[in-house]
Structure 1
Amino acid sequence: MAGIPMNEDRTDTTDRSLSSARQARQERRRDRSREEILGAARAVLLRSGAAAMTLDAVAKEAGMSKTGLYYYFPSKDALVFELVFGALEGHAQAVDVAVEGADTGGQMLGAIIRETVHAFAPKLDDFRLAFLFGQVAGAGAIHWTDEQLARMRPLNEQLLARTTAKLAGEGGETRSRAAVEPRLLAFLAYLAAIGLLTMKGMVEHVEDPLVYSDEELVEGFARVFAAAASP
């Protein structure tokens, strides 16, 4: 009699282990299917443009039914959001790591610019997806919910908070040469990088390259912002 509960315990433990393993496999399959759909959506978008990126086209590209696609993404807006969010989330993490390795506020401003340009200059299509999709798609083409916007906003903090805190700790507006509020100064550095990438995109398909190399432009911006942040 004493052995029966022990056997039952072993059986229960085995059943729980098998159930956990099945759950883990199912989650891996879901994650893989989700990534395949996002990859298919990106392929359709880059090949055919925003207007042609319908759920039917994405489902066909992914080799699945539209009903199957709806299981993962209930609308085109949801699918586009995840594409944009994924690009920006990875970028915010990379900028945060680059900034963490800098010693001064001025160096951090340069790190924001450098990491942003180096990440997207070789992949301007990803830059357009992350930063320009709404403009390219046209007014009313996409609608994001309050919940989606709430997911997006913390990425701005990840991009700028560490640099803002460092600049403020070094004296901020009262001591910096530019007399610009620390967070605004960090945001302006980010805008400088986005502007550089936008200009690269404008000349990408014409035989009129920029006079200065990416490195010259990045270093020029980095020096300007370091000087602006200095006492």
Structure 2
Amino acid sequence: MTSADSDGQGHDRTAARAARRERKRDQSREEILAGARRVLLRHGIGAMTLDAVANEVGMSKTGLYYYFPSKDALAFELVHGVIEAQAKAVEARVGEAADGGGALRAILGGTVDAFAPRLDDFRLAFLFGQVAGAGAIRWDREQFERIRPLNDLLFAKATDILRQEQGERPPRAAVEPRLMAFLAYLSAIGLLTMKGMVEPMDDPLLYSDEQLVEGFSRIFEAAAAPGGEG
């Protein structure tokens, strides 16, 4: 065996060990996030301390600090993960849309479909800060910078389609394309909020999710349609 062969094998072994460590770190990180979510949903925001999470996953608090330096950082990763998964699902739906109205329908339907079966995730992503109270959770500039690109996943494709259509023929609703995409998203958030409010009372809404999404979608499709003959 030449010296070059020996050096190459040593490099391969080092790379393999590094890859195993990285996989173990990722697995441990996901286990911590899953444990934090369980604590949060079982006992509420106030109970989600680093001590409680460490006990949940069978890890020392010192070990937990290796992955998450604070409760704020841990809460941020929970919220970010939920919103990121939903934003990617919506982006994929919008990519299949044939026109601006279809893109708005995709934002609405994709958001409701992502969260309706998992309202706990919806509450975590959108109501966490409100329920926690002012000052309970603080995120820094770097964390907000990680959230903002998710808006582009949600709205950029629909905005581009609507803008192109508006350049050809103005729509019935004189609403800026990005704002129209955001309003479609806001309608889905409102639907889910109402659904979450009545679910614990065992008093469902008069209309089904499908009917509400369809109604909203028709309104936005009509708003995005050309306003008249050019």
TM-score by length of 1: 0.96
The alpha-carbon deviation at position 173 of structure 1 amounts to 11
Consecutive unaligned residues in structure 2, runs of 5 or more: none
Please provide the CA RMSD for this pair.
1.1
CA distance in structure 1 between the partners assigned to 2:202 and 2:54 by the alignment:
37
**What is the 5 A alignment of 1:65-214?**
65-171=60-166, 175-214=170-209
The alpha-carbon deviation at position 224 of structure 1 amounts to 0.5
1:3 corresponds in structure 2 to none
For residues 153-190 of structure 1, give each alpha carbon's deviation from its aligned partner in whole angstroms, at most 9, with x where no partner exists.
01001100100010000016971111101000000000
**Counterpart amino acid of residue 83 in structure 1:** L
CA distance in structure 2 between the partners assigned to 1:194 and 1:148 by the alignment:
22
Using the TM superposition, name which of 76-85 and 171-180 deviates more. Answer: 171-180
CA distance in structure 1 between the partners assigned to 2:167 and 2:76 by the alignment:
35
Calculate percent identity across the aligned residue pairs. Answer: 66
TM-score by length of 2: 0.96
SS in 2 for 1:116: helix
Q: 1:218 aligned to 2:213?
A: yes
SS in 2 for 1:51: helix
The alpha-carbon deviation at position 207 of structure 1 amounts to 3.1
Q: 1:46 aligned to 2:41?
A: yes
CA distance in structure 1 between the partners assigned to 2:223 and 2:98 by the alignment:
16
For residues 23-56 of structure 1, give each alpha carbon's deviation from its aligned partner in whole angstroms, at most 9, with x where no partner exists.
0000000000000000000000000000000000
SS in 2 for 1:122: helix
1:230 corresponds in structure 2 to 225
**Counterpart amino acid of residue 220 in structure 1:** G
**Counterpart amino acid of residue 200 in structure 1:** K
For residues 123-182 of structure 1, give each alpha carbon's deviation from its aligned partner in whole angstroms, at most 9, with x where no partner exists.
100000011100011111100010000010010011001000100000169711111010
2:20 corresponds in structure 1 to 25
CA distance in structure 2 between the partners assigned to 1:187 and 1:218 by the alignment:
15
Match of 2:6 among 7, 11, 18: 11
* Count of aligned pairs: 226
Using the TM superposition, name which of 21-30 and 170-179 deviates more. Answer: 170-179
Using the TM superposition, name which of 204-213 and 142-151 deviates more. Answer: 204-213
CA distance in structure 2 between the partners assigned to 1:31 and 1:173 by the alignment:
48
Question: How has the CA–CA distance of structure 1 residues 75 and 172 changed in structure 2, closer, same or farther, with 3 Å as cutoff?
Answer: farther
